Amino acid sequence: MRIDCPLCGTRDRREFYYSGHATALARPAPDAGAQVWDDYLHNRENPAGVTEDLWHHEFGCGAWLAVRRDTVSHAVLSARLVKGDQL
Amino acid sequence: MAGMRLPIESHVLQAFVTEGLKPCIDHVISFGMGHFYISQSDKGGLVFGGDLDMYASYAARGNLPMVEHVAEAGMTLMPMIGKARMLRSWGGIMDMTPDGSPIIDKTHIEGLYLNAGWCYGGFKAVPASGHCFAHLLATDRPHSAAARFRLDRFRSGRGLMDEEGTGAQHNLH
């Protein structure tokens, strides 16, 4: 599996650290309540098909990417940069 | 189908089988630091595996970096297997929970019960978990041995388990 880093080009999966679904970008307000925070931290759509998850290019440029990917075929569809303040 | 989102992310775990060899391993060997295990089948093939590929997947197959990693863990443990030729490999779908422990509980939907999130373990726990699940179905109360496997531990934090001390967060187990 290779990921297209917008800064570095196509790189091997081994250069990236996987950090779970991109739902982590939608951080709730601090006072949103236990149910909302539980949903944000733990519950997942867990799709068989197209998903978007976060990858850190730790052995490359250090950027965080949101990668659209197919969990059934392992095809990597696209990758976009994610700003640090979104995480 | 039931409209529930669960604290589960499906990952891929690969396993491998070599060509048949004369008997050389008469029990299961596991190597905790390398997350590696190996045994020998009745037909002589060495059956072994290691870490998750560590990304969400339903592909039922993994990628080459983890093949290399598992092979290296095997060679670290027992270099004698180095000349065995690998015949086949496959990937299983692992229902991973944030804290690495399963869920045995009833849901908010009448008549719908959960026995899920067994991560990459669970096979040897089938008889005991089935017994606990049957107790829950029959009495609507958790069996004492499974009382900590409730779904609401993620919301309340009460009894939230963390088998490795790495944090109750997706992708850490």
| Residue B157, pLDDT above cutoff 90 | no
> pTM (2 decimals)?
0.91
pLDDT confidence of residue B161: 66
Scored b (16 or more CB within 10 A) or e, B114-150 reads bbbbbbbeeeeeeeebeebbebbeeeeebbeebeebb
pLDDT confidence of residue A26: 92
Nearest chain A residue to B63, by CA: A1
CA–CA dist A61, B93 (Å, integer): 31
Containing A21, the helix (H) or strand (E) segment is: strand A17-21
pLDDT confidence of residue B40: 97
CA–CA dist A55, A58 (Å, integer): 9
pLDDT tens per residue across span B127-139: 999 999 999 999 9
pLDDT tens per residue across span A12-37: 999 999 999 999 999 999 999 999 99
Domains delineated in chain B: 9-94 (3.30.9.10), 103-156 (no CATH)
pLDDT confidence of residue B163: 65
pLDDT confidence of residue B158: 81
Give the CATH number of domain A2-86; options: 3.40.50.720, 3.60.21.10, 3.40.50.150, 3.30.2270.10.
3.30.2270.10
Are B6 and A43 inside 8 Å of each other by CB?
yes
Reference B123, options B94, B164, B89; nearest CA is: B94
Which chain B residues contact residue A39 at CB under 8 A?
5
Q: How many A-B residue pairs are in contact by the CB < 8 A criterion? A: 63
Are A48 and B54 inside 8 Å of each other by CB?
no
Question: Would you kindly state where each structural domain of chain A is located, as residue ranges?
Answer: 2-86
| Average pLDDT taken over every residue of chain B | 92
CB atoms under 10 Å from CB of A28, counted, come to 12
Are A21 and B8 inside 8 Å of each other by CB?
no
Q: Between A18, A41, A51, which is nearest B171 by CB?
A: A18
DSSP label at A41?
A: H
pLDDT tens per residue across span B52-108: 999 999 999 999 999 999 999 999 999 999 999 999 999 999 999 999 899 999 999
Which chain A residues contact residue B154 at CB under 8 A?
38, 41-43
Residue B121: pLDDT band with limits 50, 70, 90: confident
Q: Is B162 part of the contact surface with chain A (CB cutoff 8 Å)?
A: no
DSSP label at A48?
A: S
Are B56 and A72 inside 8 Å of each other by CB?
no
CA–CA dist B79, B66 (Å, integer): 18
CB B102 within 8 A of CB B136: no
| Residue A85, pLDDT above cutoff 80 | no
